[in-house]
Amino acid sequence: MEKGAERARPKPLRLAVAPEADEAVVELVHQADAVVVDLADAQALAWTAWTDLASFPRSLPASVAWVQLPSAGIERWVEAGIIDRARVWTSAAGVCAVPVAEHALTLLLTGVRLLPESLRAAEWARTDLLPRAGTLGGTVVGIVGGGGIARALIPALTALGAEARVVNRSGRPVPGAAETRPIAGIGDFWEAVDHVVLAAPDTPDTRHLVGAAELDAMKPTAWLINVARGPIVDTEALLGALDSAGIAGAGLDVTDPEPLPAAHPLWGHPRAIVTPHIADAAMTRRGFRQRLADNVRRWTAGEELIGVVDPARGY
Amino acid sequence: MEKGAERARPKPLRLAVAPEADEAVVELVHQADAVVVDLADAQALAWTAWTDLASFPRSLPASVAWVQLPSAGIERWVEAGIIDRARVWTSAAGVCAVPVAEHALTLLLTGVRLLPESLRAAEWARTDLLPRAGTLGGTVVGIVGGGGIARALIPALTALGAEARVVNRSGRPVPGAAETRPIAGIGDFWEAVDHVVLAAPDTPDTRHLVGAAELDAMKPTAWLINVARGPIVDTEALLGALDSAGIAGAGLDVTDPEPLPAAHPLWGHPRAIVTPHIADAAMTRRGFRQRLADNVRRWTAGEELIGVVDPARGY
């Protein structure tokens, strides 16, 4: 607080940090020349708890014009009725895009190159695996969602000789994608691509976007990768497609239900690779801090904030 | 043969294809405006058998000025005393570089992101895995070997936010690498990098390049990836490092001995990912044909051949 005062900036941002003002965040706020204040005096609130929605103030002071939320996906905040239209809300959408894209690539490569079979083997199964192991080179990878994950994933796919086709809301071209089409005109997307990566927010529009018909349309050699949100895929339909070899396999970092119960048939399924929502490994907290620092700087400079939530869209 | 004659080129290359003149190769030779002849009349020989060294002619006609071998690594041809200095020998080095680089990336990502642990799990182990799962973003990946594999791997690493440092023979800078140093001045390479990818030929210089001292110098969080040749790593030393958690793990597409015997301790080792020499999946035969076609065209045009073997270096 002193630091902001010493520099005598005309209007340092008065920011409340709750429910826990951890040292790293406070240090970062000071570096951004803002001051940490109590909520009653605050112009903005940085909420630092990923899972604690219950202690979020039911009524914010009218002075709070901006709230920075900690997570990328904010559907639970929307469902809880926390997000109002009285102020600007920003999410951490995009900060984890690079590690999540890397995890999507990991799951896709792991599937295409039959790593689960190699890991189960206890002998040199070259004759069996060599003719069946694939490569991403020369393939077309369809990405549902044109946000930060797609933008981080596309250069890596391109470097491996794969082509990316993106489906997003607007159809506005995503840099590096060979094609971008709007979800309303998704057409033959499922059958045209070699693999599908789901990297879209969980909204009423995307819930169960991948069902029996879409899985049936996909190539039998296709891998379905989900690093977004479990409910985008109809789990029962997916199990059907995996059991009948309708697709080559599924790499899932998110599931529905989540956490996946111990007895669920996806565990140990020969065509499923399940990781327990770790795509954003180690980056979550760091990413939030970076986003907060960036937005504090932007607020102070009068620039547009990043990650502004549209309550109507739910992300 | 007729095709070359019809076009009345002054000197179509007279090429022998042995031990098997498969249709695809013959068609390709014709497309390149060369003619397929018996070995006795040949200027050049394309040898199409990966493993059949025994039937290779012990004495080639003096007219044979160039031999195209089918594989990328030619150490067995050198050991068998087949490669002489009486003519030019070309290997298929580099044709599989892109799929092999992809496999190296797959093994590295699989290791760093703890995929083997997720695949062994039968319950949602998020609390255990999230703090330990890593990312390549922000890491330094050391690559031993500055050939096609490194050149194909570096753009993918860069796209994921990792930095590549290369060790090669000459120290001549490899495009995209943050640093290239000669193997003679390898210095603190092993301790300075976060992970190591072996992508060098198997020569007397590289045999057991990675032994106990190198493994000991590597970071305890490091993954060692070998997509080159098994003997570059001292297997006993590696097992010691894995058993003592001296490094995080090893991703091996090649082993010593190879094939890895069924009872070998690397099978099922919690810190080892073994794939049965499938890095170049599906590309091998296609790659050889492309290389042959390219070299026939170059020969005819009087250009330098690709993949020329240096008998002194053994690759």
Bridge partners of residue A179, in order along the sequence: A165
User: Is there a single domain that holds both residue B54 and residue B174?
Assistant: no
Q: Within a domain: residue B308? A: no
Q: What are phi and psi of A98, to 5 degrees?
A: -65, -50
Which one of B129, B258, B283 has the shortest CB-CB distance to A278?
B129
User: Is there a single domain that holds both residue A150 and residue A258?
Assistant: yes
Peptide bond into B276 cis (omega under 30): no
Bridge partners of residue A197, in order along the sequence: A143, A225
Probe site for chain B from A51, A95, A102, A114 (most B CB atoms < 10 A)? A102
Bridge partners of residue B182, in order along the sequence: B168
Place of tokens 């690397």: B266
Task: Find all residues with CB under 8 Å of B283, minimum gap 6, and list them.
Answer: A135, A137, B95, B96, B98, B99
Position A213 pLDDT exceeds 70? yes
CATH code for position B63:
3.40.50
- B275 band by pLDDT with thresholds 50, 70 and 90: very high
Q: Within a domain: residue A34? A: yes
Q: Within a domain: residue B64? A: yes
- Does the beta-carbon distance from B282 to A98 stay under 8 Å? no
Tokens of B193: 């990098």
User: Is there a single domain that holds both residue A114 and residue A263?
Assistant: yes
Clarify whether B277 is annotated catalytic: yes
User: Is there a single domain that holds both residue B62 and residue B124?
Assistant: no
C-alpha count within 13 angstroms, C-beta hemisphere, residue B258? 21
User: Is there a single domain that holds both residue A18 and residue A150?
Assistant: no
Structurally, chain B folds into a number of domains equal to 2
All residues of chain A having their beta carbon less than 8 Å from the beta carbon of residue B109 are 102, 105-106, 109-110
Element counts in chain A: helices (H) and strands (E)? 11, 12
Active site residues of A: 229, 258, 277
pLDDT at A76: 83
User: Is there a single domain that holds both residue B138 and residue B201?
Assistant: yes
Position B299 pLDDT exceeds 90? no
Q: What are phi and psi of B18, to 5 degrees?
A: -150, 160
Q: Within a domain: residue A312? A: no
- Minimal-distance CA residue of chain A relative to B151: A159
Position A3 pLDDT exceeds 80? no
Q: Which residue would you say has higher pLDDT here, B261 or B53? A: B261
- B283 band by pLDDT with thresholds 50, 70 and 90: low
Q: What is the mean pLDDT of residues B265-293?
A: 85
Distance from CA of B76 to the nearest CA of A (A): 19
CATH code for position A160:
3.40.50.720
Q: What is the mean pLDDT of residues A248-259?
A: 97
User: Is there a single domain that holds both residue B131 and residue B241?
Assistant: yes
pLDDT tens digits for range B218-266: 999 999 999 999 999 999 999 999 999 999 999 999 999 999 999 999 9
Any alpha helices (H) in chain A, and if so which ranges? Answer: 2-7, 23-31, 75-79, 97-112, 115-120, 126-129, 148-159, 189-192, 212-217, 235-243, 284-301
All residues of chain B having their beta carbon less than 8 Å from the beta carbon of residue A281 are 113, 130, 133-135
- B285 band by pLDDT with thresholds 50, 70 and 90: low
Q: Within a domain: residue B312? A: no
The rounded percent of chain A whose pLDDT value lies above 90 is 65
Q: Which domain holds residue B6?
A: 2-95+283-300
Q: For residue B195, give Cα distances in angstroms to A37, B136, B148, B179.
A: 44, 9, 19, 15
Find the helix packing angle between A97-112 and A148-159, rounded to 10°: 50
User: Is there a single domain that holds both residue A173 and residue A150?
Assistant: yes
Distance from CA of A51 to the nearest CA of B (A): 14
For the ranges A94-103, A122-131, B72-81, the lowest mean pLDDT is seen at: B72-81
- B7 band by pLDDT with thresholds 50, 70 and 90: very low
User: Is there a single domain that holds both residue B229 and residue B128?
Assistant: yes
Distance from CA of A149 to the nearest CA of B (A): 12
Probe site for chain B from A105, A132, A149 (most B CB atoms < 10 A)? A105
Q: Within a domain: residue B306? A: no
- Does the beta-carbon distance from B122 to A282 stay under 8 Å? no
All residues of chain B having their beta carbon less than 8 Å from the beta carbon of residue A258 are 124
Neighbours of A169 (CB within 10 A): 18
User: Is there a single domain that holds both residue B35 and residue B153?
Assistant: no
Q: Within a domain: residue B146? A: yes
Distance CA B285, CA B92 (A): 10
User: Is there a single domain that holds both residue B54 and residue B101?
Assistant: no
- B3 band by pLDDT with thresholds 50, 70 and 90: very low
Q: What is the mean pLDDT of residues A132-161?
A: 94
Q: Within a domain: residue B311? A: no
User: Is there a single domain that holds both residue A68 and residue A104?
Assistant: no
